[in-house]
Amino acid sequence: MLEDINVAVIGVGNMGRHHARVYAEIEGVNLVAVADRNKHIGQKIARKFNCRYYSDFLKLINSEKIDAATIAVPTSLHKNVAIACIDKQIPILIEKPIAESIQSAQKIINKSKKNNIAVCIGHIERYNPVVQELKKLIKQNRFGRIISINSKRVGLYPPRVSDVDVIIDLAVHDIDVCNFLLEKEPKSIYAQAGKALNSKRIDYGDIFLDYNGVNVLLQVNWITPVKVRELTLTGIKGYAELSYLNQTLRIYKKGHGEDVDIINIEEINLRKEEPLKRELQNFVEFIKTKKGDVVNAEAGLLSLKVALKAINSHEIHRVVKL
């Protein structure tokens, strides 16, 4: 029998509070403490899940015996919090993106390698059942050679976001999903973006990625008054429609022989699951056994690089190489 592990959540705002909830639900995990600068929110979460509260994360990691921690603070703080945890020999899961810059991300990676401490990145959409199933169908060659992927991730501006733009906040999800599905990185990037309703940060963008012959278009914004999270994939043998929110996957294929004009539609029946729960279960398994399916820091760095290159392309109005 593997021993229970003690975990903490640093930052219990919009995303961190869900990490706290899920850890409290997972068998074999003790949520021992949470940290947040906001005393009202932090104490509320601590009471709800019967754990201790700290206003200073440094006091938490110095006072508690922690086997693993989630870092869900604002992106600009990721590096400092991550390095402090690594110095205390605490394996961490950092909510995406890994950091606000390549330099900060690289410092986290270098420190983790020097101390031999696991750093995983919370790219939650990889754990959506529909993404996992689509990857399986691609592996089975159900679509033949893939021609293109289109993704739409749009909705209203989230007040919780204060230090990144829509490309870093939203597009990084779909960049990671495409890296995962195609098992390669884009060779060139072109983006058009702007500030329609937000004068401080980019709030809409269209990103074109060339995965060596697979054309990818990612559309993101904080403007559309309805939340949309969709992806479509076109291959020479079939077409897929995926809804992240509804966890539905539909496959379209042309008929054969006398039925060549008929389109066959297959609804893939999947058991709906909470992606975050799958993500954290894998993280916990990885901490216990080194066998969980996790997104490593290098994969997180790649997604950040592509997102930052997209911003650079928008700024200079040119295609850029990765």
Mean pLDDT on 297-308: 98
Q: 125-273+305-321 has which fold?
A: Dihydrodipicolinate Reductase; domain 2 (3.30.360)
Residue 256 has pLDDT above 80, yes or no: no
Residue 253 has pLDDT above 70, yes or no: yes
- The pLDDT tens digits of the residues spanning 170-188 come to 999 999 999 999 999 999 9
At 260, is the pLDDT very low, low, confident or very high (cuts 50, 70, 90)?
A: low
d(CA 93, CA 232): 29
What percentage of residues in the chain have a pLDDT greater than 90? 91
The angle formed by the CA atoms of residues 191, 122 and 282, to the nearest 5 degrees, is: 140
d(CA 306, CA 168): 10
Q: Which of 130-139, 228-237, 240-249, 258-267 comes out lowest in average pLDDT?
A: 258-267
- The pLDDT tens digits of the residues spanning 3-49 come to 899 999 999 999 999 999 999 999 999 999 999 999 999 999 999 99
- The pLDDT tens digits of the residues spanning 197-229 come to 988 899 999 999 999 999 999 999 999 999 999
Residue 257 has pLDDT above 90, yes or no: no
Residue 110 has pLDDT above 80, yes or no: yes
CATH 3.90.550.10 fits 5-122, yes or no: no
Q: Where are the beta strands (DSSP E) in the chain?
A: 5-10, 29-35, 52-54, 68-71, 92-95, 119-122, 146-154, 188-194, 204-211, 214-221, 228-235, 238-243, 248-254, 263-268, 320-321
Say yes or no: do domains 5-122 and 125-273+305-321 share a fold.
Answer: no
Mean pLDDT on 120-129: 98
Mean pLDDT on 305-316: 98
Q: State the DSSP string of 165-203.
A: -HIIIIIHHHHHHHHHHHTS--SEEEEEEE-SS-SSS--
pLDDT of residue 262: 77
pLDDT of residue 261: 72
pLDDT of residue 158: 82
Return phi, psi of residue 148, to 5°.
-155, 160
Domain map of the chain by residue range? Answer: 5-122, 125-273+305-321
pLDDT of residue 258: 57
